[in-house]
Amino acid sequence: MKLLSQRLLGPVTLALLGLTFWLGLWVTPPDKAQGNLARLVYVHPAVAWVALYVSFGTATIASALYLWQRTRSMVMDRVAHCAMEVSVVFILLTLITGSIWGRPTWGVWWAWDARLTSTAILGVFALAYLALRRANDDPDLRARRAAVFAILAAINVPIIHFSVQWWKTLHQGATVFTSNRQLLIHGLMAWTLLISFLAFTLLFFWLLRARYRLEVLRSERYDVFVAEALAQRRREGVR
């Protein structure tokens, strides 16, 4: 059953992504105010959801589990590392799609808006996390430092989330729900938005799984290389 679900993850993800783009581009009606530009709502919010909450959240939770003695393992460290790499991709896509939306709406590709700036800072934190991992060859020390840094960087996520409420920003407020949890989107548009969130969430887990498998292979090859190097040194010492 587990193997079957793993095999289905990729095809199901591609099918939902295809359905999202078909519904979003050709089936759903244009917005009364923004016209066809509003079709980005089926991409940008879902990508931002994955960037801020799913991928960065996965990296943060895995880091916390690594720091907790009872759940500490290199599996958690690898999950955090791989999730953070995928998070960088989704943060970049969030900024790009946001800029495409902002150019005709605000008249500029970029503005030092509270949400935009804090999201860009989160991307810098993610890149700093990856750089920090390259600064030390000791696996345990590297994992501990990276885990602490990931948890500290995650403080920026609630700042991004509440930025449109705490400061006066160009970025619009809630896209799906009002402050009273009332739906802002209805009918086919709501269903398309829901499918987009599911599709991009599954895309993250598909990418995470693929990246994790590559990381395991890299680690195994490194262990073989070290073992062969030690064996070669022992043979040279015998001679």
User: Cβ(65)–Cβ(129) under 8 Å?
Assistant: no
What does the H/E/C string look like for the chain?
Answer: CHHHHHHHHHHHHHHHHHHHHHHHHHHCCCECCCEHHHHHHHCHHHHHHHHHHHHHHHHHHHHHHHHCHHHCCHHHHHHHHHHHHHHHHHHHHHHHHHHHHHHHHHCCCCCCCHHHHHHHHHHHHHHHHHHHHCCCCCHHHHHHHHHHHHHHHCCHHHHHHHHHHHCCCCCCCCCCECCCCCECCCHHHHHHHHHHHHHHHHHHHHHHHHHHHHHHHHHHHHHHHHHHHHHHHHHHHHC
| Model pLDDT for residues 28-69, shown as the tens digit of each residue | 877 666 777 778 888 989 999 999 899 999 999 999 999 998
- The average confidence (pLDDT) of the chain is 82
Question: CA nearest 49: which of 155, 204, 206?
Answer: 204
CATH number of the domain located at residue range(s) 10-212 in this protein: 1.20.120
Cα(194)–Cα(188) distance, integer angstroms: 10
Say which amino acid occupies 131.
Answer: A
Residues 91, 83: contact at Cβ < 8 Å? no
Domain limits of the chain?
A: 10-212
Percent share of the chain, pLDDT over 70? 79
pLDDT in tens, 170-211: 566 555 554 555 566 667 788 888 899 999 999 999 999 999
| pTM, two decimal places | 0.83
Contact assessment for residue 157 and residue 122, using Cβ atoms and an 8 Å cutoff: yes
How many Å apart are CA 42 and CA 212, to the nearest integer? 28
Residue 94 amino acid letter:
T
CB atoms within 10 A of CB 138: 9
Q: Which residue has the tokens 């880091």?
A: 63
Query: How confident is residue 1, by pLDDT bands cut at 50, 70 and 90?
Result: very low
Does residue 72 surpass a pLDDT of 80?
A: yes
pLDDT mean over 138-143: 88
| Residue 177 β-bridge partners | 183
Q: What does the pLDDT read at residue 183?
A: 60
Report which of residues 100 and 178 the model is more confident about.
Answer: 100
pLDDT at residue 104 greater than cutoff 90: no
